[in-house]
Structure 1
């Protein structure tokens, strides 16, 4: 009997039952029952507008005024119609439109025309979508819209008449009420946490919310306590969740102080924990490592968030609750995934990248994971989550995790992880010579009867990274099974094979050079793709070491620095040919 298969099927049916139950409750709260319930009194006024920390681009204001809306990579020209009348458009475009995050661009223009345009678009939404819209009333979209309307309310309401003010506040109160009543049925994880922050922000910002404030503050305290781990990581193990949470939590904290309210204890503790963890994931160039759903780094937003960090100490080296390790020596940094898969309910964006690592030297990233595509394409999303898209070992091109397949429940439930590494023992040693991590995982135990063990050591001066990958058999192992050990290289590195193909030379833009070798093993340079570039997919390369589980169950390898930086990173022409054009899909 396949116990693993039975466990996976039971998890699927439990998810289906839970989803149907939540959908039923949400329909009751948001459908006819919601409309039949009496509205509470409309708040008389807005008291405060929480700050929006995200960066704006005033050049977008002219496009919006001209009826050109570029969201999620899709350009729609409205030809004089309201964008909220247009439903036959990509769903991600509609989500960004209905979220009103683009109000910050109109506000940055700081003109009377921009204010009038904002009021007209808000009025259109209340007219066409204020009662019901299949996308406009999704919980994450409602959350984003509440936060956007609150933050930019002074801009929207300036020069507006009293009647518009009243309708605006009434609509805002209705959305907050809907989110408050359906929050238990929203997707668990970062989505629910952000919804709790939106409700709390509304209770602080709107007058007459005392009866709901205590409840919303308790909810926020509960979600922060539950979702922010003791080391500062998020339960989803996604570094991006830290950026998004802090971007909303810091303005909320300021609003508490401005109103003279006592902050929930978890709010203070969570910020103090997350700030060092955000630094933990950063490479020398400021980018965050690509683990479990992290895509391109919004450097401007990260810099703004870190400006609120009063301590500004060195990042921690060990994040045991989040399941990550950091090695640091000289100017080199190694970040490694050493954790089990997240809980089923928060694994919708998690990756099969256990024991993968990223490696950087000063401002040069060398070894990376492929990251997450900014394009809303199910195929690329599936590729990015596979083990082969990470700098670790794969067996027979199989991922170390099993995801919920698209049929029959994928469209209903998404693609959470049904099974994967659950036992990831770890040992760490730090001394004057350097730092060493030894970890293993059982993700391949069920299918191939083996453990994968990885031993990494970074020298104290950061010039040498040694590794040993070992396949440990738990019983009989099929002779024909092959493994592939992958090291995805950051785009822009100039590479070449050395010594008859037994080593690889990597030269960075600034002239810094590294060599890779795996003595006694067959290695090759193959094509790869870097998905997390802000401008689109980029061609890249990967070092691949292959072998048989039985014939060569252990591979030793080394990255060694052979030349220091000789050129400034700006104003050089010798390495201009490194620039890559985005890879067409």
Structure 2
């Protein structure tokens, strides 16, 4: 094994929890035993009587876009035969989405009830136990929740009982998930397992159903404390997954209301408090256009928006304006800034009048033992002005392990500094991180008519020159001054500023230029300690989507480089 590959592997594995390694070995070495437990026929089950029918908002648009035609991740595909559930020409993630059966709970799903009955029957008939992608634990988890919501909805409760074979299939799926809980992965995957087992155990009645309910609640009790930080943020630091897990919490609260089960009702107050704090964190990380900032794995359309979540929370009677992060309003400056600092998760946001917002990343890449959705984006930032995104990290368009996935996770795809062509954190494969950047202390200071935020990271100390990157953002009336300082030896360093596709970059010379916004507003650019050039790059707002955009690249000519953007 080459030395660099051994190093990456060592610095990845050393952060894992012992139980992750133990469970991974168990699933690999005891496959026959796991399979035996997963295939064990569940005992008799029946449908539990609930206090009311399931009803909740739907945020996801329809996935079925034609006769036997589906759209996932920006890509169309067909379900014409049993083979298509595991079609070799489709990516694993696309097939996962097919098996989720999300269309059952998408917008205006009631109008497609007859089609959905056929779809569910097809899934049962064409996916025998443990055969294919649909029986892996993550798609099992999402499908179980969708099936329970659909079967517990007003259409079924209107009269016709749920067919016995469907209840049996639901029980078989719950048993298969119970035998494959993702303790080797943890994080959002395990939370999804816990939610699914809770839904299945709450919907079905019987000895096995009680076991699944107990397993699900035990996972949720532990993971809620582990995964949601004191400031309300989810510990993977992905606004996309954060929003997804907030929807999971809202679903659990609604499940407690609909089922009337005491084991859920006693936990509902904690779930409500966590959801309220999480909404405040998401509000902080949302741009004036109503969509999330792109930090770590993040794209539009995979999770609900802040508006979607607030609508759900309001239906549940939750106060959506509860502060969840430290908030200060700095008056007496040339401009008035509202500053929110999520100290535990590591982000700072600044809001000001006329649709101005900045999101600053001073965060760790994620939980040490599961940084699978992390990017090498420490000390990156995003900027909106006049309600329009101006500087934006590149987002994601795909998963997998190819070069494009690696490029989208790399430091050069974000609004921060690369040193000697290296990433600040060693992202590799599709979901791995070896040595990672550690952020330093955050400073927030208001004086001399400006608001200044500062931070640092040591991600480049692993290089021969042992470089530490210091960055300072200085906001004042109509201007952002960005000061980067590198301590240590380096041959080449570059700061990148990725423009939103609607923004035009025009350079007059190596130290001056301007950004032109769609509404005609202009930002003057001035550089000291560096030389600028323009590159054409790509922005990825959604899976399967790529848009051409401009990138301002500033090559350092000294250890200190200042880039200012003036829109006064």
Task: Give TM-score scaled by structure 1 length.
Answer: 0.83
Q: Quick check: 1:359–1:367 contact (8 Å CA) kept in 2?
A: yes
Q: Quick check: 1:445–1:451 contact (8 Å CA) kept in 2?
A: yes
Q: Quick check: 2:238–2:296 contact (8 Å CA) kept in 1?
A: yes
Q: Deviations over 1:376-414 (max 9, x none)?
A: 67332111110000101101221011134x4xxxxxxx5
Q: Quick check: 1:283–1:333 contact (8 Å CA) kept in 2?
A: yes
Q: Quick check: 1:296–1:372 contact (8 Å CA) kept in 2?
A: no
Unaligned 5+ runs, structure 2 = 328-339
Alignment of 1:167-186 (within 5 A): 167-185=165-183
Among candidates 492, 499, 513, match of residue 502 of structure 2: 492
User: What is residue 568 of structure 1 aligned with on the other side?
Assistant: none
Q: Quick check: 2:294–2:393 contact (8 Å CA) kept in 1?
A: yes
User: What is residue 567 of structure 1 aligned with on the other side?
Assistant: none
Q: Quick check: 1:455–1:467 contact (8 Å CA) kept in 2?
A: yes
Q: CA deviation at 1:46?
A: 5.9
Matched, 1:472 2:476: no
User: What is residue 319 of structure 1 aligned with on the other side?
Assistant: 342
Among candidates 127, 130, 152, match of residue 129 of structure 1: 127
User: What is the alpha-carbon distance in structure 2 between the residues aligned to residue 84 and residue 26 of structure 1?
Assistant: 30
User: What is the alpha-carbon distance in structure 2 between the residues aligned to residue 82 and residue 223 of structure 1?
Assistant: 36
Q: CA deviation at 1:62?
A: 6.1
Change in 2 beyond 3 A, CA 1:148/1:541: same
Q: Quick check: 2:243–2:304 contact (8 Å CA) kept in 1?
A: no
Q: CA deviation at 1:303?
A: 0.9
User: What is the alpha-carbon distance in structure 2 between the residues aligned to residue 26 and residue 277 of structure 1?
Assistant: 41
User: What is residue 492 of structure 2 aligned with on the other side?
Assistant: 482
User: What is residue 243 of structure 2 aligned with on the other side?
Assistant: 243
Range that drifts further, 176-185 or 139-148: 176-185
User: What is the alpha-carbon distance in structure 1 between the residues aligned to residue 524 and residue 190 of structure 2?
Assistant: 46
Q: Deviations over 1:40-59 (max 9, x none)?
A: 3212446365445443545x
* CA RMSD after TM alignment: 3.1
Q: CA deviation at 1:357?
A: 0.7
Q: Deviations over 1:88-130 (max 9, x none)?
A: 341223211111012235x72644xx33332222122212214
SS in 1 for 2:108: helix
User: What is residue 101 of structure 1 aligned with on the other side?
Assistant: 102
Q: Deviations over 1:499-527 (max 9, x none)?
A: x4432211211222211111353112221
Matched, 1:530 2:539: yes
Q: Deviations over 1:266-315 (max 9, x none)?
A: 42332122010000101111121110111125696431202325242577
User: What is the alpha-carbon distance in structure 2 between the residues aligned to residue 432 and residue 257 of structure 1?
Assistant: 53
Q: CA deviation at 1:131?
A: 1.1
SS in 1 for 2:357: strand
Q: Quick check: 2:190–2:219 contact (8 Å CA) kept in 1?
A: no
Alignment of 1:485-564 (within 5 A): 485-498=495-508, 500-533=509-542, 536-548=545-557, 552-562=558-568
Change in 2 beyond 3 A, CA 1:269/1:534: same
Unaligned 5+ runs, structure 1 = 407-413, 563-585
Change in 2 beyond 3 A, CA 1:223/1:109: closer
Alignment of 1:188-203 (within 5 A): 188-203=186-201
Range that drifts further, 277-286 or 186-195: 186-195
Alignment of 1:158-557 (within 5 A): 165-185=163-183, 187-208=185-206, 209-210=209-210, 212-260=212-260, 261=262, 262-264=265-267, 266-296=270-300, 301-307=305-311, 308=313, 310-312=319-321, 316=327, 317-331=340-354, 332-374=356-398, 378-404=402-428, 406=429, 414-430=430-446, 433-447=449-463, 448-459=465-476, 461=477, 463-473=478-488, 477=489, 481-498=491-508, 500-533=509-542, 536-548=545-557, 552-557=558-563
Matched, 1:39 2:53: no
Q: Quick check: 2:459–2:468 contact (8 Å CA) kept in 1?
A: yes
Q: CA deviation at 1:488?
A: 0.7
Q: Quick check: 1:290–1:371 contact (8 Å CA) kept in 2?
A: yes
Q: Quick check: 2:379–2:416 contact (8 Å CA) kept in 1?
A: yes
Q: Quick check: 1:456–1:465 contact (8 Å CA) kept in 2?
A: yes
User: What is the alpha-carbon distance in structure 1 between the residues aligned to residue 421 and residue 85 of structure 2?
Assistant: 46
User: What is the alpha-carbon distance in structure 2 between the residues aligned to residue 299 and residue 10 of structure 1?
Assistant: 31
Change in 2 beyond 3 A, CA 1:84/1:123: farther
Task: Give TM-score scaled by structure 2 length.
Answer: 0.85
SS in 1 for 2:38: helix
Range that drifts further, 197-206 or 236-245: 197-206
Change in 2 beyond 3 A, CA 1:49/1:467: same
Change in 2 beyond 3 A, CA 1:299/1:121: closer
Change in 2 beyond 3 A, CA 1:188/1:161: same
Q: Deviations over 1:508-551 (max 9, x none)?
A: 11222211111353112221211225772111111111125xxx
Range that drifts further, 133-142 or 215-224: 215-224
Change in 2 beyond 3 A, CA 1:444/1:236: same
User: What is the alpha-carbon distance in structure 1 between the residues aligned to residue 4 and residue 122 of structure 2?
Assistant: 55
Q: CA deviation at 1:227?
A: 0.6
Q: Quick check: 1:285–1:362 contact (8 Å CA) kept in 2?
A: no
Change in 2 beyond 3 A, CA 1:182/1:117: same
User: What is the alpha-carbon distance in structure 1 between the residues aligned to residue 519 and residue 11 of structure 2?
Assistant: 54
User: What is the alpha-carbon distance in structure 2 between the residues aligned to residue 117 and residue 446 of structure 1?
Assistant: 57
SS in 2 for 1:353: coil
Q: CA deviation at 1:486?
A: 0.8
Q: Quick check: 1:454–1:467 contact (8 Å CA) kept in 2?
A: yes
Aligned length: 533
User: What is the alpha-carbon distance in structure 1 between the residues aligned to residue 120 and residue 4 of structure 2?
Assistant: 54
User: What is the alpha-carbon distance in structure 2 between the residues aligned to residue 121 and residue 191 of structure 1?
Assistant: 25
User: What is the alpha-carbon distance in structure 2 between the residues aligned to residue 184 and residue 375 of structure 1?
Assistant: 19
User: What is the alpha-carbon distance in structure 1 between the residues aligned to residue 54 and residue 370 of structure 2?
Assistant: 28
User: What is the alpha-carbon distance in structure 2 between the residues aligned to residue 258 and residue 249 of structure 1?
Assistant: 14
Q: Deviations over 1:241-275 (max 9, x none)?
A: 21101112112202213444324264233212201
Q: CA deviation at 1:231?
A: 0.7
